[in-house]
Amino acid sequence: MSYLVLARKWRPQLFEDLVGQEHVAQTLKNAISADRVHHAFLFTGARGVGKTSAARIFAKALNCQEGPTTTPCGVCPSCVEITNGQGIDVLEIDGASNTGVDDIRELRENIRYLPSRSRYKIFIIDEVHMLSINAFNALLKTLEEPPEHAKFIFATTEPHKIPVTILSRCQRFDFRKIGLTSVQERLRFIVDREGVEISDRSLVLVARNGGGSMRDALSTLDQVIAFCGEQVAEDEVQGLLGLVSRRLLIETLEAVLERNAQLALTLAQKVDEHGHSFRRFCRQLVELARALVILKVVDQPGELVDLSEAELQELRALAAPAALEDLHRLLEILVRTEAELATSHDQRLTMEMVLVRLAGLPSGIDIATLIDRMESLERKLASGMPARPSGHERPGGSDRPERPPLPDLPPPGGGGKKSEALPVADAADKTWAGLVAYVGSRRRPRVLALLEQSSPLQLELPRLRIGLPKKFHYLADADMRQAIQDLATDYFATEVRVEIEQVNGGENAPLSLHEERVRKESDREKKLRQNALEHPLVKSALDIFGGDIETIRAIDKGFV
């Protein structure tokens, strides 16, 4: 005998077997018990959730020799024929293959005849939304005034494509996606009877891969058993389905929430080494991040998340120390990243940079807390906190002028002056800084940049010794030395012999012009920061809002 796939072998045969569709099963059973069975039904829902199976069970319940009954016997000729899809009076029609008006006219002709040996003539039309408008119009009159012996059961995944005139003549039943726990329990029931050894964690992976569809989950289980045999290991299931390890996903979220960018990058490398798709990796992170947000808001999420009890406990521990605002931002960024990865030329780079960004995000403050702190600041200001100092007073109480002149610094480019504009003086009156300014005035940017990084070791004409840091020494070739020598000869108006030496860090050499400027600017910034931190308004803002000062910008150009 040929192999029968699990989805067909374990197809529901009774209303009690309809997993996750108890609301539909109970309503149909009540209708049968009360003898209030409508003539047309519309079963809607995602693929593989039991629409066609429910239609067959309902047909058996109506035509069973023991019925109509809510528990068809399954052994009478009518039940057996329906189970095998060979019922003479129960016709299953594929709406996708019989879309024309002629097909519906043939069906209408068939309806007129009484059932051959059953109680009702039942027409099950699958994917009914595929019928043409003319076919629907041909069906309309029959649905409005059907013969007593005829029943219609329509099944579709897209009810919005069905004309309203048809919908209004049917009782509609919406089939839900099946919850993860329900699918897992059904899979456990099946594998135990099939003699397959598989862990609960592996069954969770199979059930989740079904996406709420029992048929898809059973098809995946068939694939897993074909690959692994009757003893299934979790790592084999993950490899077959292309899923990222649950442990790796949890560790990635932990690294992000603990601000550990280095660990997050290491985990991204593992994802790449295992050959996983970064887009699927990101999609799984989105699912977990969504679960964290829900667990932060709802104590008992129930069917809001498709997680086993063990996974729920693990995620609760992860979500507990995190702020809801931080989890919101985490989820939003991951959702955007999942879409960006679809068009990224380097998915690993995109994912790595997002993980680094997430690990570096500062903690958020909710709006209510922020408003409270702002109101507190307003009350303190209203109670007499000192206002911003005037332009002639400093926080330290000094009476320095408002804009004291900046210290004289030689302009790096010579201020744009021409060489002819330089004052004529003896060589003894000319300095190293003057030489650098002269080079700038001659529009020699490469030479100027090198001299600004150099230190004057000896200036005793005609000898000029220049110290150049090791990282720039490779620039001091023969052509550069000759250029410096020619410019120095022009500037000092006497023959100059230039010597360039390498200066290593820590040697006793004068500061270069660049180093002098950096040091003065650093001293100025330190003083700016110190004065800003000592300002009472700044102190109050830090006390209320927390955090650190990242940048200080001088609004008084003359401040030193």
Asked whether 128 and 162 are in contact (CB, 8 A), the reply is: yes
Q: Are residues 131 and 233 in the same domain?
A: no
User: Is residue 422 in a domain?
Assistant: yes
Q: How large a percentage of the chain has pLDDT more than 70?
A: 85
- Whether residue 531 is contained in a domain is answered as no
Burial 463-494 (b: 16+ CB within 10 A, else e): ebebbbbeeeeeebeeebeebbbebbbebbee
Q: Residue 546 — pLDDT band, cuts 50, 70, 90? A: low
More confident residue, 318 or 420: 318
Higher pLDDT, 135 or 160: 160
406: confidence class by pLDDT, cuts 50, 70, 90:
very low
Q: How does residue 41 score in pLDDT terms, banded at 50, 70 and 90?
A: very high
Q: With a cut of 60, say whether residue 390 has pLDDT above it.
A: no
- Both 127 and 271 in a single domain? no
- Which pLDDT score, from 0 to 100, does residue 515 have? 75
- pLDDT at site 235: 81
Phi, psi of 192 (to 5 degrees): -65, -35
User: Read out DSSP for 45-110?
Assistant: -STTSSHHHHHHHHHHHHH-TT-S-SS--S-SHHHHHHHTT--SSEEEEETTT--SHHHHHHHHHH
Residues 102 and 86 in one domain: yes
> Is residue 158 pLDDT above 50, yes or no?
yes
- Amino acid occupying residue 476: A
Can you tell me the distance from the alpha carbon of 28 to that of 5, in angstroms, rounded to the nearest whole number?
28
Q: Quick check: is 25 in a domain?
A: yes
Same domain, 17 and 154: yes
Q: Is residue 168 domain-shared with residue 66, that is, in the same domain?
A: yes
pLDDT tens track for 209-229? 888 899 999 999 999 998 888
Query: From the CA atom positions of the chain, what is the Rg in Å?
Result: 41
Domain that holds residue 190: 180-241
User: Cα separation of 5 and 176, whole Å?
Assistant: 24
Domain end, chosen from 476, 492, 510, is at 510
Domain ends where: 142, 174, 206? 174
> What is the structure's pLDDT at 337?
92
Q: What is the pLDDT of residue 355?
A: 92
Do 161 and 75 sit in the same domain of this protein?
Answer: yes
pLDDT score, position 32: 92
Whether 89 and 198 share a structural domain: no
To the question of pTM greater than 0.75 for the whole model, the response is no
Tell me, what CATH number does 261's domain have? 1.20.272.10
Mean pLDDT computed over 456-485: 80
Residue 396 inside a domain? The answer is no
Identify whether residues 25 and 151 lie together within a single domain. yes
Q: Using one digit for the tens of pLDDT, what is the confidence trace for 354-368?
A: 999 998 887 766 555
Exposure of 191 in the CB half-sphere (CA atoms within 13 A): 27
Instruction: Please give the tally of structural domains in the chain.
Output: 4
Q: Per the domain annotation, does 23 fall within a domain?
A: yes
* DSSP H or E segment with residue 205: helix 200-209
Helices (H), 363-501: 367-382, 432-441, 445-452, 478-492
What pLDDT, on the 0 to 100 scale, is given for residue 393? 44
Same domain, 300 and 433: no
In tens, the pLDDT along 365-383 reads 655 566 777 777 777 777 7
Please report whether residue 457 resides in a domain: yes
Are 154 and 76 in the same domain? Answer: yes
Tell me: do 256 and 289 sit in the same domain: yes
In a domain, 405, yes or no: no
Q: What are phi and psi of 172, to 5 degrees?
A: -100, 135
The CATH number of the domain holding residue 471 is 3.30.300.180
Q: Quick one: pLDDT at residue 418?
A: 38
* 119 within domain boundaries: yes
Give the separation between CA 386 and CA 182, rounded to whole angstroms: 66
- Helix 261-273 and helix 347-360, axial crossing angle in degrees, nearest 10: 160
Q: Which of 360, 376, 406 is the last residue of a domain?
A: 360
pLDDT of residue 202: 87
Q: What value does the mean pLDDT take over residues 38-46?
A: 92
Residues 38 and 170 in one domain: yes
pLDDT at residue 306, rounded to an integer: 73
